[in-house]
Structure 1
Amino acid sequence: MTDQADDLAIDVKGLTKVFGARTAVDHIDIKMPRGQVWGFLGPNGSGKTTTIRMLCGLLRADAGEGTCLGFDIRKQSREIKDRVGYMTQKFSYWDDLTIRENLEFVANLYGIPKKKTVVDKTLETLGLSSRQHQLAGTLSGGWKQRLALAACTLHEPKMLMLDEPTAGVDPQARRDFWDQIHRLSSEGLTVLVSTHYMDEAERCDQIVYIAYGHLMAQGRVADIISHSGLYAFVAEGPGVRELMERLRGKAGADHVAYFGNALHVTGPNLDQLKALIAADGDKTGVSWRQERPNLEDVFIHLMSQSVDTSVEA
């Protein structure tokens, strides 16, 4: 019988990191099964990157315990780093080397045997063969991203940790990147992605939401939305834009926003929302319907419940 711990890529409790007087990560618990894609969400300065770096052995935790890929995060950071591919938000390879030269250099750093065979295979798998002799500095953001992914998978890691990997790339490049991520996951790789994009978070098997060092939510997107306690109503029709300012700040309407041609109103109290719409939202030519809240609604709701500890009082 397989030990449950063997099925967890990450199993940490009380993970904490303090910088001076500020607690960047405050007693976070995470259990992540192997072979899944997990999204890390949260506002800027929330502790996402700090958490990722502690998990993969790049930063020592001040408190807490647990394992990553079966290795102790406090005592076996070298073993963890050898088995993790880490992709930073900023492109961190060499502009004056070609794609192939970058990959060969990285292969040398890892001491990979049969370097040419491994590089050739990686170039082909990631669709880089036709550009292998192009200087990295001349690549677009999407191709640089693909090169970075190739470089951090050369040594066949057991886990990928990606820090906002699609920031600044076009929608097609983002879609192609995620196709590669799910291909790698289907081959057994565990992937942890830090992102601000709600559509990317919804591509993940599970998500973790961190706000200013505190774990606010963890689990499947559908479950987090269902357990958020939020209700959402959408209004459409001529004059709906004028409703936005009248509804903002009213009791029951925690968040009011205009999307496309519709007004989106959310709050935790269904009766208050219905009363608000009946009293101030029922205007000629405007039709209302109740909808399921989306992940962005929950994201904003959780932000409103958190305290920004990065700002001094």
Structure 2
Amino acid sequence: MNIEMIRAAAQRLEGQARRTPLLSSPFLDEIAGRRLWVKPECLQHTGSFKFRGAYNALASMDEQVRKRGVIAFSSGNHAQGVALAARMHGVPAVIIMPADSPALKLANTADLGAEVITYDRATEDRDEIGERLSAERGLTLVKPFDEPQVIAGQGTCGLEIAQQAAEQGIETADVIVCCGGGGLTSGIALALEAEAPGLRVRPAEPAGFDDVARSLQSGGIERNAQTSGNICDAIITPQPGNITFPIMKRLCGPGLVVTEEEALAAMGQAFNRIKLVAEPGAAVALAAALYRADQIAGEDVIVTISGGNVDPAMFARALATL
């Protein structure tokens, strides 16, 4: 992984991905105790940053390989990103999704033209399913985070943050990123290392599923004790990636951990103050900035809202916190 891969991804994504803005609100500033800036990737195609990595992965494939089709496993956001990218390239896509994925994500992935295959994440191994179907059907597996071209695509979000921070005169700040396997976190960290070295990435995770925070603290890859049982489904992964973790270990500051209740409250604040719809896993960075202010230094903090694919019932729970 290197910055040139991310810059090449930015060229492929030109005119394909949306350049999301950097937003602020005096009401959120007051809660956070500093200037708080929000990068709303919930406004990206398919409602999450995952489109960036999915499109770049497909666009960088050999044409003959791509024509045979692709396969991916995802709780929903990577699924939709790959499904749309495959449709844009005119190739088939098979998506392996947990049976307990939000209904909206399951429906959207199928509506984008992908074949959806569900599995029980508590008893079945998605990697094994993906590898078997790849071999049987001749499909190319597009991993959700531990894949160089996927990381490069996600890193384009970091290039935008660097430019937008410079436009606002921000030279030093923590950049808090919602973190599952670390694709977005490591991609943004690589981009900022090259373009805005005064900005430091920090991963945010839900309590009980803080494998990245624990891994950064111990210096080695730590696993979660369980792989389900939290509303932040978008960022629940067994452990950091073998490619992403060394990048995060080298470039990231300490992880931040929030509760489910704080994620829901952050979702409510995002809607109430900046009119954004965030899903629980995509709100943990904002929750960290709002409710873990004592663990953050400096006059500015930048956070990602990485997705907005939330079922109505869950969103109603978030609005009830206001």
Give the alignment's TM-score, normalised by structure 1: 0.28
Greater fraction of residues in strand: 1
TM, length-normalised to structure 2: 0.27
Larger radius of gyration, structure 1 or 2?
A: 1
